[in-house]
Structure 1
Amino acid sequence: MPTTTAAQQRAQAKMEYDAFLAGCPSRRLLDRISDKWVSLILAALGSDGPRPGGDCAGEPRPMRYSELSRRLAGVSQKMLTQTLRSLERDGLITRTVTPTVPVTVTYELTDLGLSLRDLMHGIKAWAETHMDEVLANREQYDTRTA
């Protein structure tokens, strides 16, 4: 029986990732990036702010915690902190502490996080563009099934 190296085992495991399988670890990652706060944080860090018409395109830039908190209306301090920690743990963002008075903490997308940038902006734009249609469909469905 031939032995395999650690690199060969990782390559084999990577080929076997299939999110349709119950035990696949990629399901946990899909759960993470499909969370509304994760999506919005990644979209916020992936743009330099709103543009005329509400579009949030442009260049990614670091943001301070308080700026993210203001940008993400309705997020609690606890949820924002937990979500930022999980994104840092997954390697999607970096946290930089600058020893100033008071201490400055900024968050920025990593290369891995940047690879999700266009996808997150696309999903956000799709939701904003099609919300009226979805609401109309919900109302039609609810009146039909009532």
Structure 2
Amino acid sequence: MRSFRCSFVTGWFPPLFLLRLRPDDQACPVEYALDVIGGKWKGVLLYHLIEGTKRFNEFRKLCPNITHRMLTLQLRELERDGIIHRKVYQQVPPKVEYSLTELGMTLVPIIRMMKEWGDKHKGHREATDEKAE
């Protein structure tokens, strides 16, 4: 089994593609953070939650390229990790709202910094692609 060395702690750890660990089982703090907020959509969903509570279909409109299944999975993982709160209203038709938890609010500065970085560097990839051609 291949392993990698985490520079933040001592010891050897199996790569995630061989062993899927829960975040609280991971010894590397960067690995833990990326497991919680990593993935194609989690950062985007968290960015939209900074503005306030959202409903499922609001996310679908804000992120038209995400599938229904993927949105459900990403929201469930964020809820499981204590980053978002899912509030179900007992009414017909059903109403469910998502909001950041206190723990999720601690990610706001990070998400904002990621947005600033993206704004500043989003043209870099296109420039690199043009040079390659």
Q: TM-score, normalised by structure 1?
A: 0.68
1:83-102 map, 5 Å = 83-102=74-93
Match of 1:102, SS state, is: coil
What residue is the counterpart of 1:39 in the other structure?
43
Correspondence for 2:54: 63
CA shift in 2, pair 1:63/1:135, >3 Å: same
Q: In the alignment, which residue of structure 2 is the partner of 1:135?
A: 126
8 Å CA contact 2:36, 2:81 repeated in 1: no
Amino acid at match of 1:78: R
Give the corresponding residue for 2:99: 108
How far off is 1:109 after superposition? 0.4
Q: How many angstroms apart in 1 are the aligned matches of 2:11 and 2:39? A: 19
Give me the identity figure in percent: 32
Aligned partners of 2:11, 2:125: CA distance in 1, in Å? 26
Larger radius of gyration: 1
Unaligned segments of structure 2, at least 5 residues: 1-7, 15-24
Q: Which residue of 1 aligns with 2:5?
A: none
Deviations 1:97-120 (A, max 9, x none): 011221110000001111011211
Which 5+ residue runs of structure 1 have no aligned equivalent?
A: 1-16, 48-60
Aligned-residue CA RMSD (Å): 2.3
